[in-house]
Amino acid sequence: MSYLFTSESVSEGHPDKVADQISDALIDNFLAFDPESKVACETLVTTGQVVLAGEVKSTAYLDVQKIARDVINRIGYTKGEYMFDGNSCGVFSAIHEQSPDINQGVDRSSKEEQGAGDQGMMFGYATNETENYMPLALDISHEILKELAALRRENKDITYLRPDAKAQVTIEYDDNNTPVRIDAIVVSTQHDDFDSEENMLKKIKEDIINILIPRVKAKFSADIQALFTDDITYHINPTGIFVIGGPHGDTGLTGRKIIVDTYGGKGAHGGGAFSGKDPSKVDRSAAYATRHIAKNAVAAGLADEMLVQVAYAIGVAEPMGLFVDTYGTSKVDLSDGEIAKKLLEIFDMRPYFIEERFNLRAPIYSETAAYGHMGRKTETVTKTFKSPEGTEKTVEVKLFPWEELNYVDKVKSAFGV
């Protein structure tokens, strides 16, 4: 029997994502000037106010207020009428030294024996229903908001958009777990004030359906485009007016959109947030590593769908073990437990080796803080950072290295596929 599955995403202007982007901008700046920095930074944003808190061990000195303001302005909160803008909001910092009790569990005389920064379990997931091995409902939700932000910045075809927005997509699957139809799309976007609520709702709905959705559809392959039919149910700004938004409309916190950050509710989530954490925190680094395993394994043909779990004890390098669930889609004559054991022989899951495999001590995190940490394009870019003293640091970095399909041949060879 067919079934429906729904995922949501939020824009870069959503208050929780504003907080994530500030926290990850701080991570990047600390790592740019001191790659060995240990950072756990939380951000709260509300009407006219930013609060930074957390623990840091670093030789770098940063102007955290300027970094926060630059992020807010880049997102698009630049007008006083938003009741939150980068030039005038207050920025309060309560960042302090990291606890030596935590640090002693991470640092070792031998880097290879670096302990996990915390206990916990992390999950990675992949499915072959899309080209980037992500769940389709989430993939479309992300693209809706990326294109909405592009339209806002172009300020040509749609001129009333403000930064805060959310999207939600419902997909119908058949008995073979194959997407067959987009059932519904929900888009709620912040906007300028209109003279008439009736004209406002009519105009926004027309623009979303006739301007935004065709741009989103064009981003996908022909088989996915075929799912965009005339039978889609649209809910566009279903509550009506959405003028008050962003941190003025809803307080934002780092780490409150972890399902948006990962797989949109598919697979599983260990509960740990990513943004604001340096890679010694396995909440972040091991989640990337398990995604890398799942994606390469599915791409190698081991299964149509795979969930990978790893778990750690704080201060211990070796993981508690690896768990694999192929949801009955395995293509090899092995149990999921046997697959997990063999994958652990291919992928070294000790924290130090995860950091080395993906060069996670490079400043690569600002780009992860909106539109998902998984399913993104791996690319090499040049980034420049400036210290309060005026020192500039220019680095070439690879973004989203955990998305590379660079272990497919190793997996195929190990499993004989």
| Residue 256, annotated as binding a ligand | yes
Residues shown for the chain: 417
| Residue 40, annotated as binding a ligand | no
* SS (HEC) of the chain: CCEEEEEEEECCCCHHHHHHHHHHHHHHHHHHHCCCCEEEEEEEEECCEEEEEEEEECCCCCCHHHHHHHHHHHHCCCCHHHCCCCCCCEEEEEEEECCHHHHCCCCCCCHHHCCECCCEEEEEEEECCCCCCCCHHHHHHHHHHHHHHHHHHHCCCCCCEEEEEEEEEEEEECCCCCEEEEEEEEEEEEECCCCCHHHHHHHHHHHHHHHHHHHHHCCCCHHHHCCCCCCCEEEECCCCCCCCCHHHHCCEECCCCHHHHCCCCCCCCCCCCCCCECCCCHHHHHHHHHHHHHHHHHHCCCECEEEEEEEECECCCCCCEEEEECCCCECCCCCHHHHHHHHHHHCCCCHHHHHHHHCCCCCCCHHHHCCCCCCCCCEEEEEEEECCCCCEEEEEEEECHHHCCCCHHHHHHHHCC
β-pair type (392-399, 379-386): antiparallel
| Residue 42, annotated as binding a ligand | yes
| Residue 165, annotated as binding a ligand | yes
Under 8 Å between Cβ of 161 and 189: yes
**Burial tier of 282 (Cβ tally within 10 Å: 0-12, 13-18, 19+):** buried
β-pair type (38-46, 379-386): unpaired
Other C-beta atoms lying within 10 Å of the C-beta of residue 128: 15
| Residue 250, annotated as binding a ligand | yes
| Residue 55, annotated as binding a ligand | yes
| Residue 14, annotated as binding a ligand | yes
| Residue 164, annotated as binding a ligand | yes
Distance between CA atoms of residues 412 and 365, nearest Å: 31
Binding-site members for L-methionine are 55, 98, 250, 281
Binding-site members for K(+) are 42
Binding-site members for ATP are 14, 164-166, 250, 256-257, 273, 277
Binding-site members are 14, 16, 42, 55, 98, 164-166, 250, 256-257, 273, 277, 281
Binding-site members for Mg(2+) are 16
